[in-house]
């Protein structure tokens, strides 16, 4: 669905800006916003880790070799 909206946005911008059609430009803008909104509403992956009593996490940063 997002791919279709992106194609419509691309087509609308191309025909609206190149050919001067306001309706095509409006279609491009609306479909671009719809694709962005649909993309942003996807739930991000969960990176939660549950620790048991006594467990810990250690984060170490190593300097890269020069």
CA distance 11 to 13: 6
Residue 53 lies in a domain: no
Residue 15 lies in a domain: yes
Q: What is the pLDDT of residues 15-54, one digit of tens each?
A: 888 878 889 889 999 999 999 888 888 777 677 888 999 9
Residue 11's contacts (CB-CB under 8 Å, 6 or more residues apart) are 24, 27, 28
Residue 56 lies in a domain: no
The number of distinct structural domains making up the chain is: 1
Residue 46 lies in a domain: no
Residue 52 lies in a domain: no
In the predicted model, what is the mean pLDDT of residues 61-65? Answer: 87
pLDDT at 18: 84
Tell me which residue range forms the domain holding 36.
2-40
CA angle, 37 as apex, 2 and 16 as ends, to 5°? 70
pLDDT at 30: 92
DSSP 3-state of 5: helix
């Amino acid at each position: 669905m997002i791919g279709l909206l992106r194609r419509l946005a691309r087509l609308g911008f191309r025909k609206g800006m190149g050919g001067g059609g306001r309706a095509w430009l409006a279609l491009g803008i609306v479909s671009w916003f719809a694709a962005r909104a649909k993309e942003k509403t996807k739930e991000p992956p969960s990176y939660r880790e549950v620790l048991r009593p006594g467990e810990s996490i250690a984060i170490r940063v190593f300097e890269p070799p020069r």
